Amino acid sequence: LVVWGVVRSPYGLALIGVRENERRMRALGYDTARLRLSAFVLAGTIAGIAGALSAYSTRFVSAQDAGLGNSVRAFVTVLVGGAGTLGGPVVGSALVSLIERIVPSLLPPDLRISEAILGLVFIAFVLFARQGMVGLGTHAWLRVRRR
């Protein structure tokens, strides 16, 4: 809810403007370097809070938590759900978790193929649905509303 409020605020709209056309925002008198820096600080703060909450809930922190596997999983989760949307990572996380939990139960135990299936899902979204699940849902909803 906090992130949603930030995105809808004048500050968030200025950040969107910088993302879309930095030269125009500079011409309108915005200090784009300061806006970019503040966005970086805000993102780092949110990530730090998320890390602290994760450590608190699991009561354990290891170097593997910041390893390549978790980073790739987070990247795939965001892209599959819909980068640039607030609900995309939630939807992507649900789909990725579903793949990681359901696929191994359907296959023989010694066949570890869920990572490969997750990779294929990622490739499919990059090639055919760049806007992710949320974008596909929005597009479908708009098409149904037009009828």
Task: Please report, for the chain, the start and end positions of each structural domain, with discontinuous segments joined by +.
Answer: 1-61, 63-147
Question: 51 falls in which pLDDT band (50, 70, 90)?
Answer: confident
Structure tokens at 138: 């929005």
Q: Tens of pLDDT along 77-114?
A: 999 998 888 888 899 999 888 888 888 788 777 777 77
pLDDT at 29: 95
pLDDT at 65: 77
- The secondary structure element, H or E, covering residue 44 is helix 32-58
Structure tokens at 45: 């703060």
Cβ count within 10 A of residue 147: 4
